[in-house]
Structure 1
Amino acid sequence: MVMHKGIGLERFNSLPRTRAVHALYSCCCAVTWAEKVADGRPYADRAALLKAAEVELPALSDADLGRIFDSFVRQEITERTTELLTRLTRDRINLMIGPSDGYPEY
């Protein structure tokens, strides 16, 4: 479950490292992956963030990949492929970022 919804890319880029890792972890449930992607900030645009996220997924161990798939309890998973994991993670990152400017803070 994504806990940081619609924060916008600018706000994501400015989060302290631990909060950025937490936001990314909620998208993919892999600390190593979240740390590597968070350390790549700031991202110029959404495409750059998504590309960095995609590049780091295949570098994970089989055990990490299995745990990530297990975290997608609400999605119907018919096969455990990197392509499917990339798509699911991309969807969660898009939910986390939301609109380009994020939602307004109240």
Structure 2
Amino acid sequence: MHQGIGLDSFNTISRGRAVHALYECCCNVTWATTIADARPFPDRDALLAKVDVELLALSQPDLNRAFDAVVHEQFSQRVVTELARITRAHIDTMLGPSDGYPDY
């Protein structure tokens, strides 16, 4: 649903929409809320660094639920590094190109 919105739009959309967009990337409300509340991000690297830090903070039950939500993805083990790889790919899809896709 939230594809190609660009970092600038992500930084300025409502908190609710940001949480929803992030939830689509990792399927964890606490994680999504924490990332949304850390906005604005100066660049994609800063966002991804925060993403990684907060993924490392997830409890094992939260990790298990996140993996259960991405069963359609390819992963070798249910470890945080695999979830980070999947989540980063989803965030890349969410953001799209650096300026996002144009509104039509």
What corresponds to 2:74 in structure 1? 76
Q: Extract structure 1 runs of 4+ deviating beyond 2 A.
A: none
Q: Secondary structure at the match of 1:83?
A: helix
- Tell me if 1:56 matches 2:54: yes
Aligned mates of 1:91, 1:43 — CA distance in 2: 18
Letter in 1 for 2:56: P
Letter in 1 for 2:54: E
- Relative to the length of structure 1, the TM-score reads 0.95
What corresponds to 1:28 in structure 2? 26
- Tell me if 1:105 matches 2:99: no
Q: How many residues align?
A: 104
What corresponds to 1:40 in structure 2? 38
Query: Is there any run of 5+ residues in structure 1 with no aligned partner, and where?
Result: none
- Tell me if 1:10 matches 2:24: no
- Relative to the length of structure 2, the TM-score reads 0.96
Residue identity over aligned pairs, in percent, reads: 57
Aligned mates of 2:93, 2:11 — CA distance in 1: 16
Query: Is there any run of 5+ residues in structure 2 with no aligned partner, and where?
Result: none
Aligned mates of 2:67, 2:89 — CA distance in 1: 14
Structure 1 vs Structure 2 CA RMSD = 0.8
